[in-house]
């Protein structure tokens, strides 16, 4: 609601603000009367057990008042005010009651109702009285005492200035109402929760797709390449050793063997069977045994970890080791892992040249996102000259 010193006087906002405050007074008066009667009836009928239902209705009175307040806000606030309540998980009164009683918004609206009836409503009356009732008394003062004519001038000036206090208080009241009934941090919290769930669903979908690709490569392309290698071997047996074709078939078979080895490495990296069968420690040790740089593995886990944690930790380690082999020029590396205080901690350190930039396309950003899905943290320390340290913490409660 924009307020300019004089321009807004000829706009619709002063009148909308006036209607907003008057309707607030009317709503407050009705709510005070109804709630007073309902509370009294509930207290009196407590001995008949009916009063509990009446008092429960009082608890839900905030829903009605809040709905009316959100509707009234449109008079002075053009931004839509969303309903913070969730839909019940199922049909029926019981599901609705359980959902509403468990929602913080229900009790926040009840608190707002009592604040509105004990404070805001009276302030509405006070502002309207200052804007209209006080000027009226000042204007009519000379009727009883002609010497009080200066008060008539004061009354006229106060009456002409009513848009300013009315509009100012209406704007402040609307802002307070929106803050309580539709807090932006709560809306943002719901959005962040949904984003977190979406990321978790995406990671799960990627894991399932990775497993499918691994299965298709193993059962499809890899088997066909093996059959082709066998066919080339049989063809070579039918060719004279001194023939040029004999050597070409041998070269083709060697190239095919290299392609098969690369495909097996790719399949192994997509969904390592040793991880599924023997756990994280065995998978890290098996990967380190094939690593071109000497690696010391000191990962101690008392039990198997949940599959998402093991998979995330494994890919963090393999990606870090791949970066060591490609960029670090290290001559040794060390991997440490512990599961303590419901947190899996991993550290990968090398004696390379350092200077690794997580934002420079090294793959660490993607791994940090993957760790973040599990509410974990990934930190990289890599000063120029080394060493490079990757520290990972993943929440993983026992049991």
Number of domains in the chain: 3
As given in the structure block, the two tokens for residue 185 are 């941090």
Q: Evaluate if residue 61 carries a pLDDT over 60.
A: yes
Identify the weakest region by mean pLDDT among 183-187, 315-319, 353-357.
183-187
Looking at the whole model, is its pTM more than 0.75? no
| Residue range 203-215, pLDDT digits in tens | 665 566 556 666 6
Statement to judge: residues 150 and 215 lie in one domain: no
Considering 140, 158, 182, which residue would you say is the last residue of a domain?
182
Cα 294 from Cα 135, distance rounded (Å): 90
Statement to judge: residues 327 and 261 lie in one domain: no
Cα 288 from Cα 331, distance rounded (Å): 14
Range of the domain at 32: 7-182
The candidate with the shortest Cα–Cα distance to 116, out of 176, 185, 186, 34, is: 176
| Residue range 252-276, pLDDT digits in tens | 777 777 776 666 655 555 566 777 7
Statement to judge: residues 210 and 240 lie in one domain: yes
Domain membership flag for residue 2: no
Statement to judge: residues 251 and 227 lie in one domain: yes
Share of the chain above pLDDT 70, in %: 79
Q: Evaluate if residue 2 carries a pLDDT over 50.
A: no
Q: Evaluate if residue 336 carries a pLDDT over 70.
A: yes
Considering 138, 153, 182, which residue would you say is the last residue of a domain?
182
Cα 237 from Cα 253, distance rounded (Å): 12
**In the prediction, which pLDDT does 12 show?**
84
Statement to judge: residues 228 and 280 lie in one domain: no
As given in the structure block, the two tokens for residue 151 are 């008060």
| Residue range 142-192, pLDDT digits in tens | 887 888 888 888 888 888 888 888 988 998 898 888 888 876 545 445 555
Statement to judge: residues 248 and 261 lie in one domain: yes
Considering 150, 182, 214, which residue would you say is the last residue of a domain?
182
Q: What angle do CA 7, 9, 11 make, to 5 degrees?
A: 80
Helix (H, G, I), strand (E, B) or coil at 238: coil
Statement to judge: residues 87 and 222 lie in one domain: no
Can you give the CATH number for the domain in which 334 is found? 3.30.565.10
Domain membership flag for residue 64: yes
**In the prediction, which pLDDT does 128 show?**
92
Q: Note whether 128 and 165 are within 8 A (CB).
A: no
Domain membership flag for residue 289: yes
* Cβ neighbours for 387, distance < 8 A, ≥ 6 positions apart: 349, 350, 351, 352, 354
Which position has the higher pLDDT, 54 or 312? 312
Statement to judge: residues 219 and 325 lie in one domain: no
Q: Note whether 162 and 132 are within 8 A (CB).
A: yes
**Could you tell me where the beta strands, DSSP code E, fall in 351-397?**
377-381, 388-395
């Amino acid at each position: 609601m924009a307020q300019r010193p004089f321009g807004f006087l000829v706009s619709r906002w002063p009148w909308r603000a006036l209607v907003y405050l008057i309707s607030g007074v009317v709503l407050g008066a009705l709510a005070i009367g109804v709630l007073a009667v309902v509370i009294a009836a509930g207290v009196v009928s407590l001995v008949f057990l009916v009063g509990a239902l009446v008092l429960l209705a009082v608890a839900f009175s905030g829903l009605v008042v809040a709905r009316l307040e959100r509707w009234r806000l449109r008079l002075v606030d053009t931004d839509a005010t969303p309903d913070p309540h969730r839909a019940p998980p199922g049909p029926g009164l019981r599901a609705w009651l359980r959902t509403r009683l468990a929602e913080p918004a229900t009790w926040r609206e009840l608190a707002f109702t009592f604040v509105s009836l004990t404070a805001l409503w009276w302030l509405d009356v006070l502002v309207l009285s200052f804007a209209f009732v006080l000027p009226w008394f000042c204007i009519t003062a000379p009727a009883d005492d002609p010497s009080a004519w200066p008060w008539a001038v004061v009354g006229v000036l106060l009456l002409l200035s009513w848009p300013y206090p009315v509009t100012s208080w209406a704007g402040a009241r609307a802002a307070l109402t929106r803050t309580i009934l539709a807090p932006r941090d709560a809306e943002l919290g719901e959005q962040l929760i949904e984003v977190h769930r979406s990321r978790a669903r995406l990671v799960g979908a990627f894991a399932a797709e990775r497993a499918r690709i691994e299965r298709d490569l193993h059962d499809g392309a890899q088997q066909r390449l093996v059959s082709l290698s066998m066919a080339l071997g049989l063809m070579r047996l039918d060719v004279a050793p001194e023939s040029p074709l004999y050597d070409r078939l041998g070269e083709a078979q060697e190239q095919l063997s290299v392609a098969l080895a690369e495909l097996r490495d790719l399949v192994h990296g997509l969904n390592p069977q040793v991880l599924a069968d023997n756990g994280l420690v065995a998978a890290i040790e098996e990967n380190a045994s094939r690593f071109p740089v000497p690696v010391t593995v000191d990962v101690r886990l008392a039990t198997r970890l949940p599959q998402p944690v093991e998979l995330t930790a494994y890919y963090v380690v393999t990606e870090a080791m791949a970066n060591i082999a490609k960029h670090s020029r290290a001559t040794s590396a060390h991997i440490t892992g512990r599961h303590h205080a419901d947190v899996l901690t991993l550290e990968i350190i090398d004696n390379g040249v350092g200077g690794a930039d997580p934002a420079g396309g090294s793959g660490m950003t993607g791994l940090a996102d993957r760790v973040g899905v599990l509410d974990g943290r990934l930190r990289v320390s890599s000063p120029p000259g080394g060493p490079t340290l990757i520290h990972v913490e993943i929440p993983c409660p026992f049991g």
